[in-house]
Amino acid sequence: MNALAATNRNFKLASRLLGLDSKLEKSLLIPFREIKVECTIPKDDGTLASFVGFRVQHDNARGPMKGGIRYHPEVEPDEVNALAQLMTWKTAVAKIPYGGAKGGIGCDPSELSISELERLTRVFTQKIHDLIGIHTDVPAPDMGTGPQTMAWMLDEYSKFHGHSPAVVTGKPIDLGGSLGRDAATGRGVLFATEALLNEHGMSISGQRFAIQGFGNVGSWAAKLISEKGGKIVAVSDVTGAIKNKNGIDISGLLEHVEENRGIKGFDGADSIDTDSILVEDCDILVPAALGGVINRENANEIKAKFIIEGANHPTDPEADEILRRKGVVILPDIYANSGGVTVSYFEWVQNIQGFMWNEEKVNKELKTYMTRGFKDLKEMCTTHSCDLRMGAFTLGINRVAQATTIRGWGS
């Protein structure tokens, strides 16, 4: 089952729990707008190269649409549609005044030079600048993009519309980016984990964690969890996987990754097969890389008691069912990794106000939002006698449905 089919399935299940009528259900599911553009650039060697860019704007009932721009070879319409829909529910779960969107370009950023990436970003922005905006659709970084990409987008957009720092989030600090944004998704994972463990009368200290993915989300989550006394016993990234049952020195690993561009070769742990990271002996598993990594092939082998979804859609529906029967508690992506979009909202607010916050305020507000989000999610679980995933979906979908109905769109 691909990401779009899985997301639609979860929507249908939640819709049934909420008792939505078919007309409103259809209105919520169909994207507001789908954009597909050709982006042709001159490469450094003088040849021309063409790429396809996408932007799916899913829903704007609760506010401007919000979602990342990813550069990855496998960017395609169904995936972008699924992620745009997830952003609609995620922003509603977080109770921030946004809808959902997602975009990307089918390319391998590792095969493009910095100047080629800049030209590609600027051409893409030229093609969509009339369809995004501060109060319309606010892009952000995602896989394969970062603050520099947002700086190019902001600059290109500003050529047409004047200086507009709030049109993108995840920018460099010097262009109006927010303090705390870089760590936000990983810090949100920490706060979400604390809220879940607190519900079970536990704390992070002493728990054994395996983290799949050591990019922005995974590395920050590992750092912050280890600072709270959690023991990181296994880590993986695209270069390899390592484990140490006594706990990995995360500070040392971060230094190694900075110098070697990957965890491979780190001498403070034993090398293991990359695929085995998900089935390592641990208390809490944090998938923080690609989607669909937990599936029916490996779900039965998973030893963790809790799964915190740092990535988007890391667990297939078939695996969901297997893990539920095993008693594994899964904290779903649309809540667990919402720290990034929440601090993006803070950045947007600061840009509109023209008044920047200190990092302490950003982190304090993020904890408030994540703690409240978990409480709201659990209330939906109680109301509908459902698991955490359906609790999150019913919470998000219900909020969007209410906004849609009040506006008069669903009738």
Cα distance between residue 157 and residue 159, in whole Å: 5
Distance CA 210, CA 69 (A): 28
* DSSP alpha helix (H) spans, 231-273: 250-260
Amino acid in the structure at residue 162: G
Instruction: Decide: helix, strand or coil at residue 72.
Output: strand
Distance between terminal CA atoms of the chain?
32
The CA distance from 235 to 243, in Å, is 6
Among 349, 385, 387, smallest CA distance to 366 is for 349
By CB atoms closer than 10 A (0-12, 13-18, 19+), residue 246 is: exposed
**179, 359 in Cβ contact below 8 A?**
yes
The Cα 18–Cα 323 span in angstroms is 24
Is residue 378 within 8 A of residue 74, CB to CB? The reply is no
Q: Is 95 assigned a catalytic role? A: no
- Determine the residue type at 343: V
* Residue 276 to residue 369: CA distance in whole angstroms: 34
| Annotated active-site residue in 102, 171, 231, 243 | 102
Residue 240 — left, alpha, or beta (φ > 0 → left; ψ -120 to 50 → alpha)?
left
304-323 burial code (b ≥16 CB/10 A, e <16): bbbbbbbbbbbbbbebbebb
Look at residues 192, 189, 183 and name the one whose alpha carbon lies nearest to residue 376: 192
Q: Give catalytic residues, as residue numbers.
A: 102
